[in-house]
Structure 1
Amino acid sequence: MAKYTPMMEQYFSIKEQYMDCILLYRLGDFYEMFFDDALIASKVLEIALTGRDCGQEERAPMCGVPFHAVDNYISKLIENGYKVAICEQLEDPSAAKGIVKRDVIRVITPGTIIDQGMLDEKSNNYLCCTYVDKGFGMCYADISTGDLYVTENISLSDFDIKSNRFDLLKEELLKINPSEIISNKLTQNDAIDSMITCSEPLSYSEYKEIILKHFKVVSLDSFGLSDNSYAVMALGMLLNYLNNTQKTNLDHINKLHFYNVGEYLYLDSSTRKNLELIETVRGKKGQGTLYHVLDHTMTAMGGRQLKKWIEEPLKNIVLINKRLDAVEELYGNVMASNNIKECLKSIYDIERLISRIVYGNCNGRDMNALKQSVSSLPDLKSELSELSSKMFMEIQESFDTLRDIYDLIDSSIVDEPPISVKEGGIIKEGYNSELDEIKEITVHGKNWISELQNKEREATGIKNLKIGYTKVFGYYLEVTQSYLRNVPEHYIRKQTLANCERYVTPELKEMEAKILNADEQLMKLEYELFLEIRQQIKSQVVRIQETAFNIAIIDTLNSLAIAAVRNNYVRPVMNNNGYMKIVDGRHPVIEKIMKNEMFVPNDTYIDNKEHRMSIITGPNMAGKSTYMRQVALIALLAHIGSFVPAKRAELCILDKIFTRVGASDDLSQGQSTFMVEMSEVSNILNNATENSLLILDEIGRGTSTYDGLSIAWSVVEYITKKIKAKTLFATHYHELSELESKLKSVKNYRILIKEDNDKIIFLRKIVEGSVDRSYGIQVANLAGLPDEVVVRAKEILSQLDESDINKPFAKKKKDRITDNFQVSMFHEDPIENSKNKEYKELSEIIKHIDINNVTPVKAFTLLNDIIEKAKHI
């Protein structure tokens, strides 16, 4: 069998080490792909598939992309789930003997992207490693910024999670949303879209050594990891993976953040989805999310920081108030806020710029972007000096304006450098004397030749002496036969022609060497100087990163202040007393989306005694879900240190927020809508505490009326008696309103509606009391069902009411309850007692009306209550 060509032998020896990657093999000005890689890439990249002689009878399938445009092609391969190994030429082909030396200089995977064009500037791109055993350790890093976080499984005593501890791992993964996951075990992570790779781990001692070497420390005590073996395994796995794929030092990953999941307000994936924090329920970013409402950041660093604050709300009241103090100071000083905003406008993504500098991927334009960013820092620090809140004072004291970095770049890099760093034109005149001399030769070489010619004519008296050039002999002095007697002794004869002689001098040859090599020397020296400048900046990576972090915090705080001013938010008063009092609360997202309709605010009161649970009744579309979510969002905003959409807000510190709003089939797991609903409710009941906020919408609606009502009833009892969590419970089962008289901590609320000729108008106002019907047909009519369908539905409903099909749970006219089971659950009052009770309630409402102080809205509410009460007597 014929052998492969030497080049193909080299290709195969390299490819064998990277079988899970598309290998981009550098050949001149192209990166080529061969065999299976070529077949895949030609389809994914939509480029022509050709062939190349490889020493075999059949040509090797081949396709290629130009090296100067390779980033776009790499991005497309990564987006389609492939890893890419970059195989570069390690020597100058013109100087190589035999096959040019090549090797892989970097492997690019979804979690190791650093190229600006492949990243969302306001989102982190995390690579995550998990080590799973009896517990778990998790480590994740964004190598484009240098961020590194580590955690370990939390014991039940430290964090009250009663469900499988690996559910906590899954929730953390869903929270950080990594682009790539490396794990020693493939766990069930169907809800995560990331690329997951199973890796055989090294030993604890090997990973420990990798960690110590990377951070240049002698003990894990430096990070508090000595007793966290799972965290060490995950961290070591991540650093080892980066070393094997990036093949360069990672000096920008120099700080480790070890955190405990219990430090933050717990939000499970359902809650994050239902509250639409970063993405809408449909998976879209931007408008319709809480992040979009709050994001007035001017830098990419601030945008990423704001997202992290939203995803990790605080539980520490001291830290929350510290943020609130800073936001309040800017809220009350619009001029300072605007000045800070102007300073931030000209600041680029310093975190990712310094990462590219460390990687060696930066160019002159990156350097100038860093210079421009640094130029704004003195003004920014000056603005901070005028602020007195503790958070800003701490930042101002440690704020480094990086003046030396600015001076270095300003003195060395031209204002408009080329993209390439190896082709010259990047270093300023005056920075390096040797470089200036070479530039002088390049630019003024011909002038020097002309001046030498005139000089030699005067010195020798040879009036027709001229200097010429050929590729064979280089530069020469040409003297005609008539002046040969005037040729000086130091001229060296080089060539004799019919009518003249050609000479050279040491001075001419020296200048020839300079001129001919000037361009090459210029590019080489400029590149060397650029590398020196890059190294000087790289040596200051820690300082630059600290400044970038401070900028991100300033930007985030200012963004929250701007959002508060523009949206009329107020500072929440935080407490540890277990109560929430919101006056005229609003949904921060919905009120921004509503254009022609004014948002109707609502009050909320919940405590840990008599008002722990609110049962909210009302028709679909009336606003129950919006109201409950707005309460959760207001609480969450306060926990991140933000002002809130309300007239006044007093909020307690929560440990967790759970929401169960809507459900859909999970066909991949073989779960029906009702099964999904019950799984979510189970998770909430197993993990909520008395310090949690629960948002429950339509529990039990996925099954029959009897089953659903029974489940909803039981859930309410369990929460109020066992968990004692603060709960908003929306339901169509108006029978649950009876629980107000049975359970001290339950209060009934309803959504106000106005009925007009069998039509309803939603007033969006939450008031005390309950409704005794669902208004489903009226809502269907509003939705545009054909009149024939609506009319027929009313006829059927009338027949069902007559036959009392929902007995024993449905109330007949006059609220008579006849079923023994139902009587025992509710009360045994006869009809007359029920009437008397209704009269008494109506009388009490009228008796306590203060006609002199009632507002128009309250008057309408009272009148509506009176009418509703009268209808049922």
Structure 2
Amino acid sequence: MPESSTMLEQYRRIKSQHRGEILFFRLGDFYEMFNEDAQEASSILDLTLTKRQGQPMCGIPYHAAKTYIARLLKAGKKVAICEQKTIQGRRGLMDRDVVEVITPGTVVEDDFLEQSANNYLADICLLHGRLCFAYLDVSTGEFRAHSLPFDDRSKEVLRAELYRLSPRELLVQQSLLDQANFLQVIRESAAMIEPQPDWTYDVFHSADMLKRRFGVASLKGFGFEDNDPALAAAGNLLEYVQEMVHQSCPHIRAILRFEQKDYVLLDEATKRNLELVKNLSDSSRRDTLIEILDKTKTAGGARMLRQWLFQPLRNKARIEARHEAVSFLYHNQILLGDARKILASVLDVERLISRLAMDKAHAKDLRALRDSVEAGLALFQLIEAEHPPMALIPRVSAEDKAECNQVIATIDSAIQDDPSVLLTEGGIIRDGYNSELDELRNLHKNAQAVLESYLEEEKQHTGIQNLRIRYNRVIGYYLEVTKGKLSNVPSHFIRRQSLVGGERYTTDRLAELESKINGAQERIIELEKRLFLEVRENIKGNVAALLECAHAISEIDCLASLAQAATENGYTRPVMCEEPVIDIVNGRHPVVEMCLPYGDFVPNSISLSRDNQWFALITGPNMAGKSTILRQTALIVLLAHMGSFVPAEAARIGLVDKIFCRVGAQDNLARGESTFLVEMHEAAFILNTATANSLVIMDEVGRGTGTLDGVSIAWAVSEYLVERVGCRTLFATHYHELTTMGLSGLRNMRMAVIEHDGTVSFPKRLEDGASSGSYGIHVARLAGLPDGVISRASEIEQHFHQLERGLGQEQGQVEENDAVPGRIPAYSFSPKPSKEAYIPDAESKKEKRAQMRRTGELFSPEDLVLSELRSINPNEITPLGALQILSELVEKLKQ
């Protein structure tokens, strides 16, 4: 059978075991793809599709594989890498086997990863009435799990978790995918979804596997009982990773419980509306809170800062410890500057360690690890020399420092300063590290000198001064002795060839040198590879200490970033307290103030207290700054809880358990939800979830529906928050009717408006009291609407004002300059038509009444309407109430 046919059979056998992946089949210097893989990959990668024995195929150079793999992963594909096995003396078809399956959630190479964000692989299942989560970043070793009761709020909790983690790959229990509501939420995550059979989620099997994996008798030390349902997701997740990467992943050293009670809850809408890491306009990082705060110098620090932002602390002692650490660096600016200079030289230590642990690190990775760890140790020494208060700045134990220094020494002694990244071309191991390697290199570089040295030895030993070493292709290197010196030939000379003028000899030593010279380069490469793998394996024993060092470096980088942001932006340290208060003096929006010219942003103060006024009802026109006030308050509270200084002159923040921000809802076409439905979903989640210790920010509740419905909903929601929940709330609205609610705990506040000579300006200042109007037409004029539209809008507005004033007058008492209720002047940009034209004819009224008397009706519709109008007190109804009454009366007149 031809070898090519056998090779295709080998391909089909291996492919049958990896039907869900695109198989990269190694043939020499190429990875080849066949059949459906070739057709799919050629389309994604723009490769030329050819044929081999009628089979579609395409290929890529193996040295350029990373670029192509990255594109396939981005397209949502998994790639199985099938390599050739080198077997000494083997002839014929090479053995091949899959050495790794690369998936979006298991990659560790920098080419496939976003530097400043974790690359999570997550697992979700529903077991024993609990929704279970497990997530793992293979590139850093972070591994966590938790579970929550399965109830009506589970869908929103799931949505919030997926938003927080942004996993690139998601393992999901099949039966959970069968539930339409959860399938919709899962699809929104944009992760690659991997359905998992229900039978793979076995709590006790997973618990046993995890105990063996981490070498413990019980998982209680990690915060889990052996029957915790979350372990089912964690065990399935870890088994999936090990199956994909074909590694034990020693850098995954523990599974930790994620305790939601330790952190302030932020739902998906809050994270989105506050624009923490993505803006609402184009979902980029521009004009977001993370852009303002992130002054980190390391990739690990950037990832940790993002976690701190999404997981603000709830424990007062832990929050204040971060504040104290930031304060220490903030008040030691020289130290802060020196620390940041050192941090700038630290590469991505966590991911370097992960590649080391998974046998993927090349020689340059080890040098980068060595330099970064050395910089980290220098950073610790720099900070400790300033004698910071104990436990404020992360420290590394003396034992871990010793191991880190041992790693530095090992790499220094073994690896060249600028080594090759390939194991197939040498140039990795330092001279002097291995005597055999030094000899081979000497042979390769100085073969003639080595032979000359040996020749001098033989001359001294034999006394044959005209002894020569020569070479030909037939017998290789040989010693040539003339006939006159044949009597001096020693016994260890071995005759190879006789000539007329002398003899040619070899020796065991010369044959050995010849063999070494001829195969020196090949043996140099093989020996360097073996020595490098030994060094890498040796360093793997220090992974635990290296990870402790990496974590401390990232934490210091985060603290330094917060101190630097406070320095650059003029932030102050907040005071945290247990009392349910928010007292902010001249607070600022951290993002908006950076987008305005220096000094243009107007600070504002806000004070809420559960013991006095905890519900601020804020009214005022559009463009006056209501939404900015709302968002900046939420952001200041969030920043304080994450351990940051805040943009304010002073701030006293009572601990919160949850922050809700319902601001600016919009259609969600993917979910089939209108603006109003989105708004109501978010409001429902807040009302059903908020506690007395929460902070609620709500803007324009009810605006997505009719005016009467909207004000009714806004009124009811306000009452519920004030009287039933009792949490600190900022509630912005255009419904002025709400200012009359008169609820205990409610504080009416408004955005200031300055009117002068018919013009209106908005100083962006918050003050006590209810707003007197919305000034919508003024805002429309500022926005540039045509003058004709502005004039017409003013005309219609004036008409409705007149209609409200005339609602209490009888129909027969309409003054000459008043409009008649129920009529709007015809649309015209010419002078308004005469109001008298709208007054009903008196004779026609009399005729209609007479006709009703003839038919037996005692009262006409007009009589009934006049009677109702006489019973109304205009001073006791709102404008909207008047419009509702008017609508009902008009319907009666039509009957």
Q: Give the structure-2-normalised TM-score.
A: 0.86
The yes-or-no answer on 1:68 pairing with 2:70 is no
SS at match of 1:149: strand
Deviation at 1:154, TM superposition (A): 4.5
Query: Which amino acid is 2:331 matched to?
Result: G
Q: What residue in structure 1 maps to residue 187 of structure 2?
A: 190
Query: Which amino acid is 2:63 matched to?
Result: H
CA distance in 1: counterparts of 2:525 and 2:743, whole angstroms: 83
SS at match of 2:652: strand
The yes-or-no answer on 1:359 pairing with 2:358 is yes
Q: What residue in structure 1 maps to residue 618 of structure 2?
A: 616
The yes-or-no answer on 1:121 pairing with 2:110 is no
Query: Which amino acid is 1:317 matched to?
Result: K
Q: What residue in structure 1 maps to residue 670 of structure 2?
A: 668
CA contact (8 A) 1:751 1:765 kept: yes
SS at match of 2:115: coil
CA contact (8 A) 1:220 1:226 kept: yes
Q: What residue in structure 1 maps to residue 591 of structure 2?
A: 589
Query: Which amino acid is 2:388 matched to?
Result: S
1:818–1:606 Cα change, 3 Å: farther
Q: What residue in structure 2 maps to residue 27 of structure 1?
A: 27
CA contact (8 A) 2:204 2:226 kept: no
Equivalent runs, 1:469-484 vs 2, <5 Å? 469-479=471-481
1:154–1:423 Cα change, 3 Å: same
Equivalent runs, 1:184-583 vs 2, <5 Å? 184-185=173-174, 186=177, 187-188=182-183, 189-200=186-197, 201-202=199-200, 203-226=202-225, 228-282=227-281, 284-385=283-384, 386-392=386-392, 395=395, 400-401=400-401, 402-453=404-455, 456=458, 466-479=468-481, 488-496=490-498, 501-583=503-585
The yes-or-no answer on 1:772 pairing with 2:766 is no
The yes-or-no answer on 1:135 pairing with 2:130 is yes
CA distance in 2: counterparts of 1:122 and 1:473, whole angstroms: 62
CA contact (8 A) 1:468 1:477 kept: yes
1:228–1:756 Cα change, 3 Å: farther
Deviation at 1:491, TM superposition (A): 2.9
User: What's the Cα RMSD here?
Assistant: 2.7
Equivalent runs, 1:599-748 vs 2, <5 Å? 599-739=601-741, 742-748=742-748
1:493–1:604 Cα change, 3 Å: same
1:204–1:98 Cα change, 3 Å: farther
CA contact (8 A) 1:210 1:239 kept: no
CA distance in 2: counterparts of 1:472 and 1:568, whole angstroms: 83
Greater shift, 638-647 or 211-220, is seen at: 211-220
CA contact (8 A) 1:111 1:179 kept: yes
Deviation at 1:394, TM superposition (A): 5.8
CA distance in 2: counterparts of 1:329 and 1:497, whole angstroms: 89
Deviation at 1:397, TM superposition (A): 5.5
Q: What residue in structure 2 maps to residue 171 of structure 1?
A: 160
CA distance in 2: counterparts of 1:675 and 1:398, whole angstroms: 58
CA contact (8 A) 1:384 1:392 kept: no
Query: Which amino acid is 2:6 matched to?
Result: P
CA distance in 2: counterparts of 1:568 and 1:36, whole angstroms: 60
Deviation at 1:482, TM superposition (A): 7.6
Deviation at 1:9, TM superposition (A): 1.0
CA contact (8 A) 1:387 1:393 kept: no
Q: What residue in structure 2 maps to residue 97 of structure 1?
A: 91
Query: Which amino acid is 1:468 matched to?
Result: R
Task: Tell me the alpha carbon deviations over residues 551-593 of structure 1, each in whole angstroms, 9 at most, x when there is no partner.
Answer: 1111111111111111111111111111111000000111112
Deviation at 1:436, TM superposition (A): 1.7
Larger radius of gyration: 2
Query: Which amino acid is 1:686 matched to?
Result: N
Task: Tell me the alpha carbon deviations over residues 73-95 of structure 1, each in whole angstroms, 9 at most, x when there is no partner.
Answer: 10000000001111111225x73
Q: What residue in structure 2 maps to residue 793 of structure 1?
A: 793
Gaps of 5+ in 1: 54-58, 156-161, 828-873
CA distance in 2: counterparts of 1:703 and 1:407, whole angstroms: 70
CA contact (8 A) 2:393 2:556 kept: no
Equivalent runs, 1:2-41 vs 2, <5 Å? 5-41=5-41
Query: Which amino acid is 2:132 matched to?
Result: G
CA distance in 2: counterparts of 1:416 and 1:718, whole angstroms: 68
Query: Which amino acid is 1:175 matched to?
Result: R
CA distance in 1: counterparts of 2:163 and 2:599, whole angstroms: 36
Query: Which amino acid is 1:148 matched to?
Result: F
1:104–1:503 Cα change, 3 Å: same
Deviation at 1:707, TM superposition (A): 0.9
CA distance in 1: counterparts of 2:511 and 2:259, whole angstroms: 72
CA contact (8 A) 1:111 1:125 kept: yes
SS at match of 2:797: helix
SS at match of 1:468: strand
CA distance in 2: counterparts of 1:3 and 1:348, whole angstroms: 47
SS at match of 1:5: helix
SS at match of 1:82: coil
Deviation at 1:490, TM superposition (A): 3.6
Q: What residue in structure 2 maps to residue 145 of structure 1?
A: 140
CA distance in 1: counterparts of 2:473 and 2:664, whole angstroms: 82
Match of 2:169 among 180, 193, 205: 180
1:438–1:230 Cα change, 3 Å: same
Percentage identity across paired residues of the two chains: 41
CA distance in 1: counterparts of 2:586 and 2:215, whole angstroms: 55
1:777–1:469 Cα change, 3 Å: farther
Query: Which amino acid is 1:65 matched to?
Result: I
1:782–1:534 Cα change, 3 Å: same
Deviation at 1:286, TM superposition (A): 2.9
Query: Which amino acid is 1:592 matched to?
Result: M
CA contact (8 A) 2:126 2:173 kept: yes
CA distance in 1: counterparts of 2:725 and 2:228, whole angstroms: 34
Query: Which amino acid is 2:444 matched to?
Result: T
CA contact (8 A) 2:380 2:395 kept: no
Q: What residue in structure 1 maps to residue 79 of structure 2?
A: 84
CA distance in 2: counterparts of 1:204 and 1:377, whole angstroms: 40
Deviation at 1:100, TM superposition (A): 0.9
CA contact (8 A) 1:113 1:119 kept: yes
CA distance in 1: counterparts of 2:101 and 2:289, whole angstroms: 36
CA contact (8 A) 1:460 1:486 kept: yes
Query: Which amino acid is 1:122 matched to?
Result: S
Deviation at 1:657, TM superposition (A): 0.6
CA contact (8 A) 1:578 1:653 kept: yes
Deviation at 1:398, TM superposition (A): 6.3
1:327–1:819 Cα change, 3 Å: farther
Deviation at 1:757, TM superposition (A): 4.1
Deviation at 1:381, TM superposition (A): 2.0
Greater shift, 198-207 or 180-189, is seen at: 198-207
CA contact (8 A) 1:152 1:228 kept: no
